[in-house]
Amino acid sequence: AQKVTQAQTEISVVEKEDVTLDCVYETRDTTYYLFWYKQPPSGELVFLIRRNSFDEQNEISGRYSWNFQKSTSSFNFTITASQVVDSAVYFCALKYTGKLIFGQGTTLQVKP
Amino acid sequence: GAVVSQHPSRVICKSGTSVKIECRSLDFQATTMFWYRQFPKQSLMLMATSNEGSKATYEQGVEKDKFLINHASLTLSTLTVTSAHPEDSSFYICSAREMAQAGGLGNSPLHFGNGTRLTVT
């Protein structure tokens, strides 16, 4: 079965703190894609990253970084020096037969 | 970049009426579109997969007679919520997949619309 688990329902941090959002996935496929999306209060989904199963190299984009560990089936997302504008719901997703299966989402609140 | 236009962004309707939501790919052809529903503070749940020129494939538990999906062209899919009830109030989001690229379906980009917030009174 394909499944994505985001165990953290809500996280609250103070601005400038680092925060890591966890994502654990299950799949029997050897080729798969993992994603992170940001959903601000307005509702639209903002694409953050796509990673395929053959590329375990960690990625950094500005204050964002992602740690992909196939051995533990995890694809964690870290925001460094968080800002109030980072407040949103973040979804991890697994692409399976062309469609996305989303985790439950983690609500991140960054307080000034 | 690729854009998916979803219309309307918000709609309020009375119980018992039908509502149509449109999802258009503006600068690419989408052989497949997906419809998701998101209840407040919950995740996005896939409702159905819409393929151009054929019947939609519905996920388990989704009533195909209530949520009518039409994908008549490579750039347009519509979702009609028939005989809407207050429990259908939700956020509906479509996504469109560009035609398959090298590497198979998994490698085809997915683009999301901005969603439609439906309120049934």
The tens-digit pLDDT sequence of chain B (121 residues) is 668 999 999 999 999 999 999 999 998 888 899 999 999 989 999 999 998 888 999 999 999 999 999 998 999 999 999 999 999 999 999 999 887 654 555 566 788 999 999 999 9
Model confidence at A58, in pLDDT bands (50, 70, 90)? confident
Dihedral sign (CA B31, B75, B34, A47): positive
Strand, helix or coil at A53? coil
CB contact, 8 Å: B32 with chain A? Answer: yes
Express each pLDDT in A12-53 by its tens digit.
999 999 999 999 999 998 889 999 999 999 999 999 999 999
Q: What is the DSSP letter of A55?
A: -
Instruction: Give B-chain residues touching A38 at CB under 8 angstroms.
Output: none
Query: Which among A43, A101, A103 has CB closest to B91?
Result: A43
Give helix then strand counts, H and E, for chain B.
Answer: 0, 11
Q: CA-CA distances (angstroms) from residue B39 to A33, A83, B44, B92?
A: 25, 27, 8, 9
What's the pLDDT at B54? 86
What's the pLDDT at B115? 96
Cβ–Cβ below 8 Å for B105 and A32: no
